[in-house]
Amino acid sequence: MTTTVFPAFRTTDAAATIELLVTLGFTERLLVRNEQDPALVDHAEFALGDTGGIMFGSVRNDGSALDSVGGSSIYVVVDTEREVDRLYQEIVDMGHAIVRPVATQDYGGREFDFRDHDGNSWGVGSYRGA
């Protein structure tokens, strides 16, 4: 059995979230826009590789736990340290707040952390875990 984890969150700016995910290497699997307001996303699934991915939707103000925007923490694993460095520059160029600059870690891999437009914490690195 293959275990898959799909972090799920809500966003205040679906277009900015989609741009960020595409920059990080995610591909669209499913995108359901709101019929009354196509700028809003009712449900989206973006894949990373064969088994990983993220689900998100626009804020709905429905009182659910997911409507607490900005509390998610996500780590994205990329194949090489060169890819980490390339993505770091792209994230800087996009204007996201860098929390921890790109650096090689004592435990292995190269990583950096940033916050997105909603305040979610993202880590990007080549470390795949022990």
The three-state secondary structure class of 17 is helix
Please give the full DSSP string across 72-87, using - where no structure is assigned. -EEEEE-S-HHHHHHH
pLDDT of residue 116: 96
Percent of the chain past pLDDT 70, that is, above it, reads 97
Backbone region of residue 129 per phi and psi (left: phi > 0; alpha: psi in -120 to 50; beta: other values): left
In 3D space, the residue among 26, 25, 24 whose CA is nearest the CA of residue 91 turns out to be 24
Q: Tens digit of pLDDT for each residue in 72-89? A: 899 999 999 999 999 999
Q: Does 49 share its domain with 78?
A: no
Give yes or no: residues 48 and 97 share one domain.
Answer: no
pLDDT at residue 64, rounded to an integer: 79
What digits encode the pLDDT tens for the residues 26-74? 999 999 999 999 999 999 999 998 878 999 999 988 887 777 788 889 9
Q: Using only C-alpha atoms, what is the Rg of the chain?
A: 15
Q: Is residue 91 part of a domain?
A: yes
**Are residues 117 and 84 both part of a single domain?**
yes
The number of domains in the chain is 2
Residue 120 lies in a domain: yes
In a domain, 5, yes or no: yes
Are 6 and 52 part of one and the same domain?
A: yes
Could you report the per-residue pLDDT of 87-124, keeping only the tens digit for each?
999 999 999 999 999 999 999 999 999 999 999 999 99
pLDDT at 1 over 60: no
| Domain encompassing residue 48 | 1-59
